[in-house]
Structure 1
């Protein structure tokens, strides 16, 4: 900083023009001189606690700047105007600490909205990303869940939603979560869970497992929740295990198909039966694609028809003792091996 004229203390000398140079954060300078080379009576010029001090012997004159302005100081200002920056610009430090701005990093102080990648935010948080690629998905944000301990099954990450209601507080109204079910390195599994508030309490309304199973809460044939933890929309094939119960010498089976919506399961397929005798009741048990605990015969039902004997048919019910399907019919034909077509439905309980 270049100093202007400094007043000399007392009379007799009047005002003398002096020159001197000093960095405000620098040290002490001595023997300031007039322009004509005459040495002033002031002996030292240095930084004071709150400003600039000029000393002559025991007398000290202070030009008070109210606070420390050294390069190591932390001054406080009631207001500051940086006229070279655009209104709304969010200031940040570039390389070497240079204060800078970006026209796509904006705070709308009127509407209280932050824009990242946009010059005019239209939402409280408005984020945009532009790239030259035209056929890729871009992640617009990332949330990372960390722990200082050892992660265990159940650790996850989510986003919480809150909204003002008629109550005196703003409750959490929903969550979107990813929750771990297996943390084995290289084979980790996470379920997607949608939680919503219902009658004032948070419930898991939808789950998509890591296997792609959709587990809605209330898809159920009687309108209740039933065994909610096992509900799903799924389908597949399976080979049932057969049990020769009554009047069956032998039986064989191939793959059956099944589908599930909520707690209702449908199945269909073919099998062969060799009856032991004619004209008596014949019974065959078979395993289910999804386990169920039956309490009533009517919790499973269906039909069976012989493809090789006209009029030979049977019915399907629940086996409440063994928790499996049960086919029964009156063998009005002979003991020949015959192919049967099976179609049934039951409730997962």
Structure 2
């Protein structure tokens, strides 16, 4: 089989010298040692240092006000934007070059500029609206869990970020914007999309160790994708920032995503699942791995054909079996939890993941 990394043009990571960018670059490097990378940043010295650490990479200064982003005529195979690009410069550059694109920053109410850019040039390139929570760490497991159901009626997501987790400046700005500036959060309620405002934006959920966490409503793209893909009439997403379960045990911090589904099995009997996606390294390894896997799918590095022009969410490009295998390889895990309330039947997510992984 031809080694695609020997002939592929460099992947451009805009914001590649930041924390998410460095994780993304390292996962790409581990999986594809010969893949060339362009590490783009506002600080050229930092970008060059990161590129030197990664190997087979070049650090470059980015200029989002320039049509060529400051890289001239050099070819690229894909573009990933890892911070807020209010000018939509990255997508327009990708469309001009006819290469695929992913951005992980804009919230639901900020999707308009990228969607408009896509609508005007739908055949130019594949564009991924990447602001799912930790880029696939919520949507892929939830979609896999939904396959055990005949009908999914309720999906509740509770994301727990440890207050000591590492936030780069871009990630911190994104989180502040989406939790403080955006006063309302979207949910699906009895089949209709509605905005949670005021007291409705506050809630609680139980972490992996059972501790009740105070949370606030959030509306990443997972909410849209899970609603449309599963047909569940009730979907909500809440975020808590506090002490993770592992740190309460005296261990290093972790990222936790609590996922609960309820509905009926294929025979019509009540069914519920509750489980957690956990990573001991916090949020950034999961995010970086998700971006790396999306880029692999976009460019065909995973062995499949490159993604055709279109508008996508990340979960549409991420094979569940491959995702779960990579999650295990980077130190993440799936933890089965007891659903809340009186439930007659449950399904083990750990067993389901093992089956999906073995079939991949």
Verify same fold: TM over 0.5: no
* TM-score (normalizing by structure 2): 0.21
The structure in which a higher percent of residues are helix is: 2
* TM-score (normalizing by structure 1): 0.21
RCO higher in structure (CA 8 A, sep ≥6): 2
Structure of greater Rg: 1
The structure in which a higher percent of residues are strand is: 1
